[in-house]
Structure 1
Amino acid sequence: MSDSVPDLQQRKIIHIDMDAFFASVEQRDHPELQGKPVAVGGSSERGVVAAASYEAREFGVRSAMPSVTAKRRCPDLIFVKHRFDVYKQVSRQIREIFRMHSDLVEPLSLDEAYIDVTHDKMGIGNATRIAEMIRAEILKQTQLTASAGVSYNKFIAKIASDQNKPDGMCVIKPHQGAAFVAQLPVRRFFGVGPKTAERMAKLDIHTGADLRAQSEEFLRQHFGKSAGYLFRASRGVDHREVKPNRIRKSVGGERTYGTDLVSEADLQDAMEKIIDIVWNSIEKSEARGRTVTLKAKYADFRQITRSQSRDHYVENKAEFADMGRELLAAIMPVENGVRLLGLTLANLEGAEQANEVADEDAAQPGFDFMQG
């Protein structure tokens, strides 16, 4: 089958994404927070926003943002501590709703999942109707809203779920796929982070249509192993199946700095922020691992990694943080500056059976999340 056309046997894929999940749970459980700008996370100088309500987002507050920056943008911002046990319980409720319609459910995190309803359990046969039923049931059971993307593949369904947020739905039919992708900014493509988008802009590639105009050879020359994916995605093609037992091999993140970090204090401060952000991602993905890896790229682009492993799964944030700090201390002092710093939790529970790793750019400029 040619990669320039969609699958001949179309799948029916729904991507469900809860709206401002952590913050919405807090507003639900604390009515005095409803309608107010809320951030889940620490308000201390070294704190990081784990999630922001839509009221806070209107001021430019985003997840992974330092709390001091968020407070500067929104002086009335209300910080609340995260309650991951509650979020996990709600997530389990939501997944049970998904499984009413299909056993092919692939969770991406606590608040989002793919559902293949090509052969749905209830015999409804209409993916749009099923998505409406799922959203209505989520609201009934949890008093929370969810947005949905409905399409013939995972790539488009995921993007579509973000089109009409919050509490919205977007349906992209097979004959609409290529045109839908053509008008997308390249930053909306999975895996295209700020740095890649910048490189694309220099090549005059700004939209899906611009990507589609390039040959696969050209894309390989400039974007390496991502070329095949970009070539297919720009044509609305994605052959990936919904995998209910998808196994993650690592969870982590890294930050590239505009100014190289040299002093011990600056590096330690940067590490504390990365610990906060990555641990939030670990909690959200429910990952359990034994190995913590530090990645550092120096001003001269030389890159090193240092790892530390336990004979048990890392039990909590304090243990994860201690391992990260020890790894950082081991590369001190830094003479010529660090331009990139990152942490990854690997050797995850069940990962021995995984066959592939997927790297993801975060939606937030300057911070790349990696979930394998």
Structure 2
Amino acid sequence: MAEYQVIARRWRPQRFEDIVGQDHIVRTLRNAIENERIAHAYLFVGPRGTGKTSTARVFAKALNAEGGPKSNPSDETEISQAIMNGSCMDVIEIDGASNNSVDQIRALREECQYAPAQCTFKIYIIDEVHMLSTSAFNALLKTLEEPPAHVKFIFATTEAQKVLATIVSRCQRFEFRPISEEVLVERLTQIAKSEKVKVDEKALWSIARLASGGMRDAQSILDQMISFCGTEISEQDVLDVYGLVGSSRIEQLGEAMGKADFPTIVQLVETFSAEGRDLYRVLLDLETLVRESLMEAIQGGGKSSKLGASLSSESLLRMLDALQQSETGLQKGLSEKVNFEVALLRAVEASQVRAIDNLVRELKGLQDSGESVKKNA
């Protein structure tokens, strides 16, 4: 029986054109190669699944292309294939979490002195570099500042704030952005077509929403849904498997909150809980809806009717703030359902409270207008 390879591995980028959602990084790296301005150390920063390690591999392949660095290297050469499948002796991938001691970094520093066996450059890709100990970082400093001409470093991390400033200052830093839902849906559509799977468009949007900007997460979710559903995937399948609530019911809950319809709010929460829905995910989706309403109010003169009621930007801001403050309590509280109900009811109450300074201004305006009427009388 042939070994099955998951979608995330089969669809891993093999060249710069395959890297989606990070055009600013692809353009910079390509220009660096074409203009022969290749730095000795790079720091790739961003959320999980946004292409940091894949980009590092593609960049390593471009640097070690036959005949010198090329922005569009051949995929057919032995070296290119070895780099992309992880078997190249001169492109060393290191897991920072399990190789974080000072002794291991010292050994790496000694290996740097030897010339590459096959390639033009010896490239070290250190994933989750923030996991290195302080002493390990310090052991790397001198080599990182003045490495041998044949050595390049590429660091990847999801937590840039944990990387020593002395390390960051010696690297060119690249910020990987969360990939937009539109780009995720476009790539998932391409994958589904290639896999001969019929996927409802709303199902693709639900998967993209679940992935939270990560291409790898989106591909893994699609892979799981194919295993669950076979060759046809509907939106309801995705909602049921992952405990999501459809956009129409999120809007229904938002309208109930906008109208301060407490019985409907409680009833919907009861329904979601009975169906086993992920209430934390419902809270995040509700925040997105309220934020969209807030943006509509800001752009439309201070009022929004997106939640079924004419709410001011001030009311929407208070509602959104109350929802965001409830996130931690919902995750750590003993009763998710009760905490969720309380979070929604508090958000509605907060939206109906008026700021004291606004009331003072209105009273002052009424007082001023009253005095002017008396003077004119």
Coarse TM-score class (shorter-chain normalised): under 0.3
Structure of higher RCO (CA pairs closer than 8 Å, 6+ residues apart): 1
Q: Highest CA radius of gyration, 1 or 2?
A: 2
As a proportion of its length, which structure holds more strand?
Answer: 1
Q: Which structure features the higher share of helix residues?
A: 2
